Amino acid sequence: MSMAENLIHLRRQGTSVVVDVSAGVPVIAHWGRELETIDRDSILKSVYLPKQPGNVDVTAPIAVVPQHGDGCFARPGLAGHRPGGRFFAPRFSRSKVDLSEYGFVFTSTDSAAELGLRCQFDLRESGVLAINAVVTNFGDSRYLLDTLSITLPIPIGAEELVTLTGSWAREFAIHRQSFSHGAWTSENRTGRTSHEHPPVVWAVQANADEWHGEVWGAHLAWSGNHVLLAEVLADNRKYLQLGELLMAGELCLEPGTSYSTPEVVATYSQNGFTPASINFHRHVRANLPNKSKSVSRKVLLNTWEAVYFDHDEEKLKHLAEVAASVGVERFVLDDGWFAGRRNDKSSLGDWWVSPEIYPNGLKPLISHVRKLGMDFGIWVEPEMISEDSELFRTHPDWALVSPDYEPVRSRNQLVLNLAHAPAYEYVYSKLDKLLSEYEISYVKWDMNRPHVQATLKSGAAGTHEQTLALYKLIDQLREKHQHIEIESCSSGGGRIDHEILRRTDRVWTSDCIDPFRRQKIQRGASMFIPNAVMGAHVGAEKSHTTGRVHTLEFRAISAVFGHLGFELDLTVCSQSELQLIKQVVEWHKKFRGLLHSGDAVRFDCKSESQLSHGVYSHDRNEALVSLVQLTETMHGEESQFLQLPGLNGECRYRVVAFDSKFATTEAVGEFTGRQLSNTGLKLSKMRPETGTIFHLLSI
């Protein structure tokens, strides 16, 4: 890091960030290619434009928190007002800059509006740029905050936007569009990151792909509501803006209080999406709970699609026995174990073991699982309450709803107001007792409905406070029970972000484990999270969500690169199926050190009917590469070669291909890294819904 003439230069391998700190709010003057030296005039030329005809005297730059009061016509990064609408457009003056090795903190004030602004920048070892801002009310009246967002100027040469979209069971679809005029925005009000609008946006050069072209990606690390904006101003300047979406009146700053934005995590590469995504992945892994960084991710079996709500202790013990016989290391008891929970219509909030189903509690089942050499995990949904529950009948006012309206229901449940101290303490005490009484090593933490009119006791909107209470609850439980691992689930991929991954060990990528869909779902998710945290399960032959039928081989090849699990009734599998599952588990265990710690990579296929991805070791001496054929290839678009960029060009690799049973290999040949990048591996024609895994090892 260096500073000269009010320009701060943050630098890591491949990336430079230059920030002008001469005014009241920092201005990113350069975020992109690594710079050896800074040409001040050239750097600032694109930031400070000359006066425009018919406009204000000075064209204001796009600051990290744009100020309407400065004459900037980008969407304001800070908006709000004091009683009577006063000070709706503040204007800050520089106060001081505190430098660190790879970052700085910039503080400024608006003495008229009596507000303070603090902006923190860090260019982290992972390669990501992390920014957050804090506004403080040091006046003697309330300040009603509408928004505080982070803004990233983008070069004019970024001509396309790439975003993620989807729906339940269709998460993380990659969408590409022009970024040449007007504005694109995505607003999420579901109280979670959502299935429809994950908080990720990319601005890229035209025709940029996995290994070519400049790309700028940004993610809002926040598990609640959010708003994303990408805009081209009339003078052709471009920017991305990310922040929490605050409902009307949701955040009032009392005198002396502050609001901090969620962290915006941004990544850049001049060599395409994959190297930029690797920065995101390294950032996640650097911030995972300590236990997740040091242990192998255990192969698990989840009981949901095996038994659903039909819990029977003997049946579950038999299922555990079969699971242990094929190498499963963790047995996770899903929904249906508590109170009167026999379907999805009741009992959320009644977090005690069902005396009817488990008259002796869970200890006999857990003891059986532990004797088989497996850990025991359990499903909970602590943020929800059923109207048909003892908790709701006792405390109907604990629901996060407005008492003035009939609530909007979803999945026969309401949201529990965790920001209400008695409700929070009740849930904490029940979960604490459960984890203290039983040998539970793993918690699947679910959240199965969106927020609608989420209302605090005060009558104000409550998603912000609910999200903070969720974080506090998980943190408090982890502090008390440090041995547990936690999975974040929200009807599948409805709550996935870097902030929830600071306190959980993996995410449930989607409720859909149809391998055909999962190939694309996991590819989209890999744009900002690594394989190691993606729950990827082998389901039944006939998919629960789509009804499609797939071979066990295709189901397995679609799951083995993630955090592997099984979600089917193993007790009805044939001996040949169990033998193949055992081989899949053994293969995964052999390679999971590489799969879960290496760099996840994606490849561009000539045909849209094919998908390819893989993992490279950090030293690039070993790799695993998956190629799948999703549908029939149209005549003339067959991929004859699969190019594998990013390896060591001078290194020579022996390449073998695993057969569909994951047991034996067939020699493919020996190639240099340069040959694999430029020419690639010659491919054979494949049938739809089949795949191959290549193993590369330096020699």
Catalytic residue positions? 446, 511
C-beta separation of 198 from 170 below 8 A: no
> How far apart, in whole angstroms, are the C-alpha atoms of residue 341 and residue 387?
13
> How far apart, in whole angstroms, are the C-alpha atoms of residue 49 and residue 47?
6
> How far apart, in whole angstroms, are the C-alpha atoms of residue 660 and residue 578?
15
In terms of Cα–Cα distance, which of 130, 76, 96, 77 is closest to 22?
A: 96
Q: Which two three-digit tokens encode residue 252?
A: 């009032």
Q: Which two three-digit tokens encode residue 456?
A: 């605090």
Q: Which two three-digit tokens encode residue 513?
A: 């484990």
In terms of Cα–Cα distance, which of 632, 606, 603 is closest to 690?
A: 632
Tell me the sheet residues that pair with 49.
Answer: none
End-to-end Cα spacing for the chain: 39
Residue 407: phi and psi, rounded to 5, are -70, 150
Residue 609: phi and psi, rounded to 5, are -80, -5
> How far apart, in whole angstroms, are the C-alpha atoms of residue 221 and residue 244?
10
> How far apart, in whole angstroms, are the C-alpha atoms of residue 316 and residue 302?
11
> How far apart, in whole angstroms, are the C-alpha atoms of residue 379 and residue 535?
14
> How far apart, in whole angstroms, are the C-alpha atoms of residue 566 and residue 581?
9
Q: Are strands 300-302 and 563-567 parallel, antiparallel or unpaired?
A: parallel
> How far apart, in whole angstroms, are the C-alpha atoms of residue 132 and residue 29?
17
Q: Which two three-digit tokens encode residue 259?
A: 């609001």
SS3 category, 689: coil
> How far apart, in whole angstroms, are the C-alpha atoms of residue 420 and residue 6?
46
Q: Are strands 200-204 and 160-165 parallel, antiparallel or unpaired?
A: antiparallel
Residue/partner pairs of 321-324 with CB below 8 Å, 24 or more apart: 321/372, 322/570, 322/571, 322/573, 322/578, 323/372, 323/374, 323/566, 323/570, 324/372, 324/373, 324/374
> How far apart, in whole angstroms, are the C-alpha atoms of residue 311 and residue 267?
46
Residue/partner pairs of 116-123 with CB below 8 Å, 24 or more apart: 117/25, 117/65, 117/78, 117/92, 119/25, 119/26, 119/64, 119/65, 121/8, 121/10, 121/17, 121/19, 121/26, 123/10, 123/11, 123/12, 123/15, 123/17
C-beta separation of 261 from 218 below 8 A: no
- Report in angstroms the alpha-carbon separations of 63 from 30, 230, 568: 12, 15, 52
